[in-house]
């Protein structure tokens, strides 16, 4: 059986902790590899390698750092099919969906190719009498990223690309459920010209996370996962003197106004609700039609499309979605569907008990649709992270707007309408971090920043875009005055520009 270790100091190393976890094929339920789970000493080995390599990398001029990412983007495109196949084998999503995962990470790598401009400071000539003032952005030193299973290519690149481009070294702790793509990305970064030790990949579980959060040489930590773990990571990192950005759970609503193009709205819900089996933090899991007529038409059009979803292994190039990632996820999703029935929601399409011939032990859940869901129900409050869509009927626009505003999560939201006034009002008032107007999954492009509000995000700066450059650098401000501008004698009052 294939054994997966770590990538430290520019090369693959076997695990030494003696602890491993199974990497499963979600379509069959079979173990396809064993991944090593790092000890504190293995995390420390990665940090020591990063610590030794980082000063020289920070001293490398930004243009040369950018060239590594130009080459890396070239290599990502060259190895796209290989990477997508590897990703799908461990995650279970379709190959085309895996390519989308990789491309959205690649776009951040393209963005940081502009690091010579992005990392520039500011300068003011004559800020005071014979005084010039300027600032510079310098790297934090060593950063770390803790990533989830659902985007094993995109989210690692969202994290390490801006960190490394800014002159930092980086420790990546990917999900142990699908660890192979992050290791391959590290290989390609070395091939692109990155010095050994700047990007280290260490697989592990909570023991590895805690070692990262308490290591004195790691200056900044970024995390994506569930809200309870995001709170823990953020709090522990802060207590240990680290800056942190931590992104948690979501419950994304899509409001469908009576004037919306219903066919467009339904197609948007199908892709945003059931793509990747709903295992996306930006998936739409709540549809909010405004008015009974809108609701009835929406459900009437949705139900047959959900029933006809093509579900299969990633090797089926016609599949709309694959299995969920683990046996535990499968049981949890089915349990929440059971709970929705118990709570009185109308189960329009039931995805429980879905079995695929030849893949009876796979972790497949059929597309599921609930109607007449209310905000008091667990299926509304909980992030299900599976192919389950809930319809919450709203009497009017204000009723619809209040639903995402009152929910504890604030990651993403969408509105479908032809009314520009309604769209503008919605975007202005709703307390959510990312908003789509006739766009179901409003993940910003790489040169804007990604991040939610409320219990979906902890920390002041978002991922990618200019926020990422601010997060991975510290500002140093210099005030300079040369002898010709200095008065004789000591000055005992607070300096001012008076």
- Give dist(CA 149, CA 162) in Å, integer: 21
Active site residue 166: no
Terminal Cα distance for the chain, rounded: 74
Nearest to 174 by CA among 219, 212, 141: 212
Q: C-alpha angle with apex 442: 429 to 332, nearest 5 degrees? A: 100
Nearest to 353 by CA among 320, 374, 373, 331: 331
Strands 346-349 and 368-371: antiparallel
Side-chain-side CA neighbours of 151 within 13 Å: the count stands at 24
> How many DSSP H helices and E strands does the chain contain?
16, 23
- Give dist(CA 347, CA 340) in Å, integer: 8
- Give dist(CA 108, CA 150) in Å, integer: 18
Q: C-alpha angle with apex 220: 215 to 221, nearest 5 degrees? A: 85
CA distances from 265 to 402, 434, 436, 465 (A): 20, 18, 12, 29
Spatial CB neighbours of 57, under 8 Å, sequence gap ≥ 6:
65, 164, 167, 168, 169, 195, 198
Phi/psi of residue 283, nearest 5 degrees: -65, 145
Radius of gyration of the chain (CA): 25
Q: Which of the residues 113, 166, 246, 281 is marked catalytic? A: 281
Nearest to 367 by CA among 337, 392, 346: 337
Residues recognised as catalytic? 281
């Amino acid at each position: 059986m294939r054994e997966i270790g770590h990538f430290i100091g520019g090369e693959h190393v076997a695990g030494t902790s003696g602890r491993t976890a199974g990497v499963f094929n979600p379509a069959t339920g079979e173990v396809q590899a064993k991944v090593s789970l790092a000890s504190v000493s293995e995390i420390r080995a990665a940090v020591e390698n990063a610590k030794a390599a980082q000063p020289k990398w920070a001293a490398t001029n930004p243009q040369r750092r950018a060239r590594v990412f130009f080459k890396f983007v070239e290599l990502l495109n060259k190895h796209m099919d290989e990477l997508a196949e590897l990703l799908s084998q461990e995650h279970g999503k379709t190959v085309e969906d895996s390519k989308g995962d990789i491309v959205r990470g690649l776009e951040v790598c393209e963005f940081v190719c502009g690091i010579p401009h992005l990392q520039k400071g500011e300068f003011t000539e004559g800020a005071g009498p014979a005084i010039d003032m300027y600032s510079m952005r310098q790297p934090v030193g060593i950063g770390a990223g803790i990533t989830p299973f659902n985007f094993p290519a995109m989210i690692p690149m969202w994290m390490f690309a801006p960190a490394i481009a800014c002159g930092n070294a980086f420790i990546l702790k990917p999900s142990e459920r699908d660890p192979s793509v992050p290791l391959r990305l590290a290989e390609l970064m070395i091939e692109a010209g990155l010095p050994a030790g700047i990007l280290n990949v260490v697989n592990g579980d909570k023991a590895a996370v805690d070692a990262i959060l308490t290591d004195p040489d790691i200056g900044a930590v970024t995390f994506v996962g569930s809200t309870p773990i995001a709170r823990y990571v953020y709090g522990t990192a802060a207590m240990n003197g680290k800056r942190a950005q931590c992104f948690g759970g979501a419950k994304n609503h899509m409001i469908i106004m009576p004037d919306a193009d219903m066919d467009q709205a339904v197609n948007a819900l199908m892709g945003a609700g059931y793509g990747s089996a709903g295992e996306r933090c930006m998936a739409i899991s709540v549809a909010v039609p405004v008015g009974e007529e809108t609701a009835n038409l929406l459900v009437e059009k949705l139900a047959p499309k959900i029933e006809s979803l093509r579900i299969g292994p990633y090797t089926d190039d016609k599949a709309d979605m694959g299995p969920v990632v683990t046996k535990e996820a499968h049981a949890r999703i089915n349990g929440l569907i059971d709970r929705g029935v118990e709570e009185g929601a109308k189960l329009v399409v039931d995805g429980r008990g879905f079995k695929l011939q030849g893949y009876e032990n796979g972790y497949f859940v059929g597309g599921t649709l609930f109607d007449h869901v209310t905000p008091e129900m667990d299926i509304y409050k909980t992030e299900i992270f599976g192919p389950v869509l809930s319809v919450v009927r709203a009497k009017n626009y204000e009723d619809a707007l209040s639903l995402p505003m009152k929910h504890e999560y604030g990651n993403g939201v969408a509105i479908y309408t032809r009314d520009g006034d309604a769209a503008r009002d919605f975007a202005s008032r709703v307390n959510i971090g990312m908003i789509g107007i006739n766009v179901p999954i409003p993940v910003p492009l790489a040169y804007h920043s990604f991040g939610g509000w409320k219990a979906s995000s902890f920390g002041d700066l978002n991922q990618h875009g200019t926020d990422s450059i601010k997060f991975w650098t510290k500002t140093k401000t210099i005030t300079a005055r040369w002898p010709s501008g200095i008065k004789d004698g000591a000055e005992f009052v607070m300096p001012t520009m008076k």
